[in-house]
Amino acid sequence: SLQNIIGKLTSAIQQNVMGIKVVKAFAREDFEISKFEEIGRERFRLQLKIAKLGAFYGPLMDFAAATGTTFVLWYGGMQVLNGTLTLGELVAFNTYLTILVGPVSLIGWTISMLQNAIAAADRINEILLTRQETHLRDGKKELNHTRGHVEFKHVSLAYKSGRNALMDISFEALPGEMVAIMGPTGSGKSSIVNLISRFYDATEGKVLIDETDIRDYRAASLRRHIGLVAQETFLFNATIRENIAFAHPGATLAEVQNAAKIANIHNYIMSLPENYETVVGERGVNLSGGQKQRISIARALLKDPAILILDDSTSALDTETELMIHKELKSVAKARTVFIIAHRISTVKHADRIVVLDGGRIVETGRHDDLANAGGLYSQIYHIQLSGQDAEGAAPVMEGRTHGR
Ligand SMILES: Nc1ncnc2c1ncn2[C@@H]1O[C@H](COP(=O)(O)OP(=O)(O)O)[C@@H](O)[C@H]1O
Ligand SMILES: [Mg+2]
């Protein structure tokens, strides 16, 4: 239907504008343009059909109405002449008829409005139903206070589409610990985080917080204690201050600044013309990936969560800035349980526990010292990164190996 086509057009425009960089980077302009033209032509064909129908039925309706009036006047006029009808009655009848035309044509108009609305409702329902697919049964327990003890017990997770993303995952994060999760892309790191925040539920096994299945908690009360810096950063079209204070709109400027300082973005914000009142997001100042990540970190910190999750949150930063943030984070981390997903050994080295994933399974757990030379995936990554730093004067690979630990 027309509504469908208009929807397609709108989303094609939106996607292409938002993803213009990707389109350009992959040299897909011609393809995107021809795709757009195709939808445009389809709309043109439909609109033309509607115009043709209108051109045919419009005059037909007018003709029918005019014929009706002519008939009434002719037949009524005869009766007036015969004396069976008074002139007043004929005029009254004709007037009522004219009044009736409006509401009747309104019925037709309403029906076409209704059709449009049903088409639009289809698209809205599409969204509503998608959400329902991942809708989770909400628990009843209020999580008012948490020690931040997190435990995975034989957890498997299969997304709706496809094979298991996680298989038989068991590990524990004690209150106040820092747990690092490492592994190649697609190994299931973000999936673990999805489970803790309850964006998804385990297919098998369970996730416990303070020895209670997280499905028993009311999801909103659970999430109040979790500060998540997701892999994809997202900033709202709002001021930096509003973005950082997202969880606590009432936070003072000093609190916002404190979070920004820990996230190592305060100085940059102060260099902007309107400081913390600078508008960012799609319609605001353009920020780099690393700057967005740091604002997202500040946002999570301001929430003062018992459980802090950093999912690849420093990947867009240079090593130096990353190290600076982690130095700052260390003091913040003491009082909370921290999950950190990262690729640089330098970032995860000091974690209390390192969980190494591969293909949805845990292949190793332990501290840096246990894993660095254990010959597993972690030590492979370690030695690759070590050799990468050779030029900067780090210990050569072989030396690292022979020393052992
Ligand atoms: N929402 C989702 N729906 C379906 N499959 C998903 C979803 N999220 C992740 N996956 C799949 O699960 C696997 C693990 O993904 P993920 O946890 O994002 O890995 P990582 O964070 O380690 O890169 C991948 O094969 C990925 O394609
Ligand atoms: Mg991920």
Average pLDDT over the chain, rounded to an integer: 82
> Percent of the chain beyond pLDDT 70?
91
Distances from the Cα of 63 to the Cα of 50, 56, 90, 96, 362, angstroms: 20, 11, 22, 19, 79
Residue 303 has pLDDT above 80, yes or no: yes
Ligand 1 atom at minimum distance from 184 CA = 22
Average pLDDT over residues 209-221: 86
For ligand 1, atom 7, name the residue with the nearest CA: 159
Q: Among 61-65, 177-181, 362-366, 401-405, which is the least confidently predicted range?
A: 401-405
pLDDT of residue 227: 85
Rounded to whole angstroms, the Cα distance separating 301 from 231 reads 16
pLDDT at 46 over 50: yes
The atom number, within ligand 1, closest to the CA of 187 reads 22
Q: What percent of the chain has pLDDT over 90?
A: 18
Q: Does 403 have pLDDT greater than 90?
A: no
Higher pLDDT, 319 or 215: 215
| CATH level 3 topology of 150-403 | Rossmann fold (3.40.50)
Ligand whose nearest atom lies closest to the CA of 166: 1
What is the Å distance from ligand 2's center to 278 Cα?
30
Which atom of ligand 1 sits closest to the CA of residue 231?
Answer: 21
Distances (CA, A) of 245 to 238, 272, 284, 292, 300: 11, 18, 17, 14, 9
Instruction: Point out the ligand nearest to the CA of residue 184.
Output: 1
pLDDT tens per residue across span 158-182: 887 777 889 999 999 998 899 999 9
Q: Are 351 and 341 in contact (CB under 8 A)?
A: no
Atom of ligand 1 nearest to the CA of 312: 21
Q: How close is the Cα of 261 to the center of ligand 2, in Å? A: 26
Ligand nearest to the CA of 230: 2
Q: Which ligand is nearest to the CA of 181?
A: 1
Select from 164, 191, 232, 315 the residue to mutate for testing ligand 1; criterion: most ligand atoms less than 8 Å from CB.
191
Q: What is the pLDDT of residues 124-154, one digit of tens each?
A: 887 777 655 455 677 788 778 888 899 999 9
For residue 252 the two structure tokens come to 């003072």
Ligand nearest to C-alpha 165: 1
Q: How far is the CA of 94 from the centre of ligand 1 (A)?
A: 72
The CA 344 to ligand 2 mean position distance, Å, reads 14
Query: Using CA positions, which residue lies closest to atom 25 of ligand 1?
Result: 186
Out of 76-80, 115-119, 157-161, give the one with best mean pLDDT. Answer: 76-80
Query: Between 344 and 21, whose confidence is greater?
Result: 344
- Is pLDDT of 105 > 70? yes
Residue ranges per domain, the chain? 2-133, 150-403
List the residue whose alpha carbon is closest to atom 24 of ligand 1. Answer: 186
Q: Is pLDDT at 26 greater than 70 in this prediction?
A: no
Q: Do 150-403 and 2-133 fall under one CATH topology?
A: no
Instruction: Tell me the residue type at 199.
Output: F
Query: Which positions ≥6 away from 207 have C-beta within 8 Å?
Result: 150, 151, 152, 153, 155, 195, 196, 213, 214
How would CATH label the architecture of 2-133?
A: Up-down Bundle (1.20)
Distance 186 CA to ligand 1 centre (A): 6
Q: What is the 3-state secondary structure (H, E, C) of the chain?
A: CHHHHHHHHHHHHHHHHHCHHHHHHCCCHHHHHHHHHHHHHHHHHHHHHHHHHHHHHHHHHHHHHHHHHHHHHHHHHHHHHHCCCCHHHHHHHHHHHHHHHHHHHHHHHHHHHHHHHHHHHHHHHHHHHHHHHCCCCCCCECCCCCCCCEEEEEEEEECCCCCEEEEEEEEEECCCCEEEEECCCCCCHHHHHHHHCCCCCCCEEEEEECCEEHHHECHHHHHCCEEEECCCCCCCCEEHHHHHCCCCCCCCHHHHHHHHHHCCCHHHHHHCCCHHHCEECCCCECCCHHHHHHHHHHHHHHCCCCEEEEECCCCCCCHHHHHHHHHHHHHHHCCCEEEEECCCHHHHCCCCEEEEEECCEEEEEECHHHHCCCCCHHHHHHHHHHHHCHHHCCCCHHHHHHHCC
Ligand 1, atom 5, residue with closest C-alpha: 159
Q: Report the pLDDT value the prediction gives residue 239, as an integer from 0 to 100.
A: 86
Which atom, in ligand 1's list, is nearest to the CA of 194? 17
Tell me what pLDDT residue 121 has: 86
Whether the per-residue pLDDT at 396 is higher than 50: the answer is no
What pLDDT, on a 0 to 100 scale, did the predictor assign at position 247? 75
pLDDT at site 339: 93
Span 363-381, mean pLDDT? 83
Pocket-forming residues, ligand 1, beta carbon under 6 Å: 159, 161-162, 165, 183, 185-191
- Give pLDDT, residue 133: 44
pLDDT of 48 reads 93
Report the pLDDT value the prediction gives residue 283, as an integer from 0 to 100.
63
